[in-house]
Structure 1
Amino acid sequence: MAAVVPIQAALYTIMVIFGILGNGLVIGVVGESVLRDSRRGAGADIILVNMALSNLLVSLVRNIPLMLADMGLQLYLSMEWCRLFMCVWVWLRAANVWSTFFLSAFHHHTLHRLGPRQSGSHGPRGHPGPLLLGIGLIWALNLLYSIPAYIYSKRGDKNSTETLMLISTTTRPLLGCMWNFPDPYRGLIYSTASLLIHELLPIILMSVTNVSSLYKLYGHGRRRFGGNAVEDALEVRRIPAERRAAKVIMALIILFTLSWGTSIISNNSINFNGSQSGGALLVVARFANSTFIALSPVVLTFGHRRMRAVVKAMLSP
């Protein structure tokens, strides 16, 4: 592995620390709000906590070892520990992707409640049970997706070079762990399936659901409500709040698409084209992988009322 430029290591360390502190703050602030206002059915806040938790776990389990390796600390795990860590890396990255999409899909679904209410629709927003079930399915299904990482991985050494780059694990041998497919064709099949199902599909779905949400909000803003005047007034007041939420989610999706998409292009350029500028592409991919984790708490700070209030209180003299 080539030596890491000191400025590169310093910038990556700042991003990792920023991601840990920022996502930890989101979990603490928004999680406390969920517990305090649980009867109000704060579904979006529950999903935000889940997304921040997946970001935090990726930073702790994957990005910190990368940061320590940049500082010159080289650790090598046994074969069994390598298999376990490769499985966990894939699991956390996969759950992180679909947790981000779940936020966009949930907001799109809630917009169906915007507008005149039907009879029997009064009262609280509903029990969070189905929402928690959906989050549980995300983690369970992505755990199944990560099983091949346990089977097809091995322990390398300091002279080992990773030839298959998957965005869901690492862009270089880490802790001595690397992919070990029986033949190149199986590795190519797995990387292609990962590219289509796990890397491109979430970006497409996020873009479609968020554009659809903005279109729905535009339609609601122009529609004239009928029926109960009090309920109509409440719904009209909800539209600006929902529009602000849609803009925040759109900002998160754009940030995710740019960071995730950059990493996809870099990794798969090496996988399928054998790019000669592999070293530079790996640097781009590694920073792109961490950009969303580091900057998403900043976006939430601007868009979430409780987060904004806490950060203002922290920064005020």
Structure 2
Amino acid sequence: MTDAVVSQQISSSPLYFALYVILVMLGNVGNTTVIAVVGESLLRETGSVRSSDVILVNMAFSNLMVSLVRNTVVMVSDLGAEIFLSRDMCHLMMGIWVWLRSANVWSTFFLSAFHFQTLRRVAPPVITLHGPRGPPGSLILGFVLVWSLNLIYAIPAFIFSKNGDENSTETLMLVSSTTRPLMGCIWDFPSAYSGLAFATSSMVIHESIPICLMNVTNLGSLLTLYAHGHSRNTGNKSQDAPVVTRIPAERRAAKVILTLNVLFISSWGTNVISVNYFNYNRGSSTEFLLIIARFANMSFIAFSPIVLAVGHRQLRAFITSVLSRIISVFG
């Protein structure tokens, strides 16, 4: 079963294809809205820049890039356009796909790690009215590391790939959603062992580890909020206790981040389980499972802007304004 067969199954079903187009458009429009609205509020700020909003823009940008470069192209292919890239384009696109997907995973984890670090701060943040505007240097360094290290890791994807023909099949079946080829591009590793090593390391480094860290940091955030609320109720305030100045806002942020993590993990898990079942237990339901895998692989990118809109004041205000205008026009 190849991506071409899955595309044929989706395009032949109006329901599947309509749902697929809706998810792609949600991902494109939603993440563009997050970048525009939150980014515009950052540019308008006269004081210190909110690091959390910078992280949201970075995550939305990585989501949008994956959606445009991968999901949108797959949607165009499902419309009937037979897209088979040349060898040089496969080198380029396979590297870009692996790079963007890997950076997307770590950018999502970045949000959880930042919120946990904020809650664990034992002293109020130092704000200088006349200091330089912009995010902290440590945050910029984190972004540079996320994008540069993942680009370095993606170098084998730029090198060990080639274009196949319509009848070519994958001899190395990958369960990792990060390294899955498509659009006629296939892996061309020197040996099956080197290809398996790359796929395995990709799944461990860029999926299993960040997902475990997401769970740890998110659980730590929830426990910190619980401990702080309990200490406030009992009147016990330790000098080394974390400083949480806005309990309702931080609880709302924790719920939003928890929802994002659950959405990401369920999306990743459904994709990997479906593809893995197809690889080792091919039965009558394999076509449906691969379709589910494709939908699951893009559900986080499609629905994460909606989750962010629930917990972000500027996004909520913007969407409310747009909906009220639409209702006034058609009402």
- State the TM-score, normalized to the length of structure 1: 0.89
Q: Is the 8 A contact 1:79 1:154 kept in 2?
A: yes
1:124 Cα shift?
Answer: 4.3
For residues 24 and 56 of structure 2, the distance between their equivalents in structure 1, rounded to whole angstroms, comes to 19
- Does the aligned pair in 2 maintain the 1:153–1:181 contact within 8 Å? yes
Contact map agreement 2:119 2:244 (CA 8 A) in 1: no
Between the aligned partners of 2:276 and 2:95, the Cα distance in structure 1 is 20
The 5 Å alignment of 1:139-288 reads 139-163=147-171, 164-165=173-174, 166-170=176-180, 173-174=182-183, 176-223=184-231, 224=235, 238-271=246-279, 273=280, 275-276=282-283, 277-288=285-296
Aligned with 1:123 (options 127, 131, 139):
127
**Secondary structure in 2 matching 1:241:** helix
Equivalent residues in 2 for 1:45-60, closer than 5 Å? 45-60=53-68
Task: Provide the secondary structure at the position in 1 that maps to 2:47.
Answer: helix
Give the distance between the partners of 1:226 and 1:104, measured in 2 at CA. Answer: 25
* Distance change in 2, residues 1:250/1:308 (3 Å): same
Is the 8 Å Cα contact of residues 105 and 206 (structure 1) preserved in structure 2?
A: yes
Q: CA deviation at 1:159?
A: 1.4
Unaligned runs of 5+ in 1: 228-234
* Matches of 1:38 and 1:157, distance apart in 2: 56
SS at match of 1:74: coil
- Between Structure 1 and Structure 2, how many residues are aligned? 304
In the alignment, the residues of structure 2 paired with residue 225 and residue 35 of structure 1 have an alpha-carbon distance, to the nearest angstrom, of 41
The answer on whether the counterparts of 1:210 and 1:250 sit within 8 Å (CA) in structure 2 is yes
Tell me what 2:117 maps to: 109
Hey, what's the Cα distance between the residues in 2 that align with 1:269 and 1:193? 20
The Cα shift of 1:194 comes to: 1.8
**Any unmatched runs of 5+ in structure 2?**
none
Match for residue 230 of structure 1? none
Tell me the SS of whatever aligns to 1:113: coil
Query: Structure 1 residues 169, 195: closer, same or farther in 2, change over 3 A?
Result: closer
**d(CA) in 1 for partners of 2:100, 2:46:** 27
Question: How far apart are the structure 1 equivalents of 2:218 and 2:237?
Answer: 27
Deviates more, 1:90-99 or 1:275-284: 275-284
CA RMSD for the aligned pairs?
2.3
**Rounded Cα–Cα distance in structure 2 between residues aligned with 1:88 and 1:122:** 39
- Contact 1:259–1:292 at 8 Å: present in 2 too? yes
User: Percent identity over the alignment?
Assistant: 53
CA 1:236–1:93 in structure 2 vs 1: closer, same or farther (change >3 Å)? closer
